[in-house]
Amino acid sequence: AARAFLVAASRLGKVVCVTLAQPGWIPSCLDAFMPNLSAAWRELDVEVHYSSVEKVDTRREIGGGSAACCLHRTPYDDAEQDAYRVNILANRKQRSMKRALRQFYGKRAAWKNVLSLGDGPFERQALQDLAFGHTAAAVRPGDDSATKMRAKTVKMLDSPDCAMLCEELHVLQAWLPAMTAIDGDFDFSLDSLEEGDLETPCAFLTPRQRAAAPRMLEAGI
């Protein structure tokens, strides 16, 4: 299932892996446990960006004050510490994503269509913050090129068993053409689906987007 998903995604666009794992972990893991996927990974030349080595400012503000100060004031506040951790790890992924997008689109070109899939909150926040910052920084009077970026995020299931993971990948593979073709942003979590919803075509779309999806697919958008 994972190999088929990777091949299908590669036919639709550039596939990049952004991970918080330590450098070298991805190829080692694939070689040891998923040799067929490992072979396809190398054949398709999938880039891996290790966000764990990214340098970030741990003093970035959360909720109006510095993260360090918030944690110092409330050392036993689990929610505050979780927010701090998510923010730091999302910033690491954001740096890696920014580098990958600049390599793909170039430093001056507008970013057009970016789809992020992952089972954590970090890549979701990273892409959304990156898209907002890119659009805000790039907008010029009379130039709407930056507003055409589509930032699309899919939150995958937390800790699925092998059977559920395979089913999840089969469904996402079926959705890939519509997800890449949809002319707009979306933020969707598979955790929000109820039993049987995985069988619903393009369940991640709003009714309006779902109605437009076939026309966009026919138009090749």
pLDDT grade for 196, boundaries at 50, 70 and 90: low
Q: What is the pLDDT of residues 54-95, one digit of tens each?
A: 887 665 544 444 444 444 555 456 667 777 778 888 889 999
Question: Percentage of the chain surpassing pLDDT 90?
Answer: 34
C-alpha radius of gyration, the chain, whole number: 19
- What is the model's pLDDT at position 61? 43
Average pLDDT on 162-166 reads 90
| CA proximity to 21, closest of 62, 56, 49, 2 | 49
Asked if pLDDT for residue 181 goes beyond 50, the answer is yes
Q: What is the pLDDT of residues 107-159, one digit of tens each?
A: 777 788 999 999 988 898 889 888 887 765 555 555 555 456 889 999 998 88
Tell me what the pLDDT averaged over the chain comes to. 79
Helices and strands of the chain, counted as H and E runs: 8, 7
Asked if pLDDT for residue 186 goes beyond 90, the answer is no
- What is the model's pLDDT at position 115? 93
Asked if pLDDT for residue 198 goes beyond 70, the answer is no
Asked if pLDDT for residue 194 goes beyond 70, the answer is no
Other Cβ atoms less than 10 A from the Cβ of 96: the count is 23
User: Residue 191 burial (CB < 10 Å; 0-12/13-18/19+)?
Assistant: exposed
Average pLDDT on 14-18 reads 95
- What is the model's pLDDT at position 54? 87
Average pLDDT on 160-170 reads 89
* Verdict on whether the full-model pTM lies above 0.85: no
User: Residue 34 burial (CB < 10 Å; 0-12/13-18/19+)?
Assistant: middle
Question: Percentage of the chain surpassing pLDDT 70?
Answer: 70
- Residue 210 DSSP label: H
- What is the model's pLDDT at position 144? 52
Top-ranked range on mean pLDDT: pick from 33-42, 159-168, 179-188 = 33-42
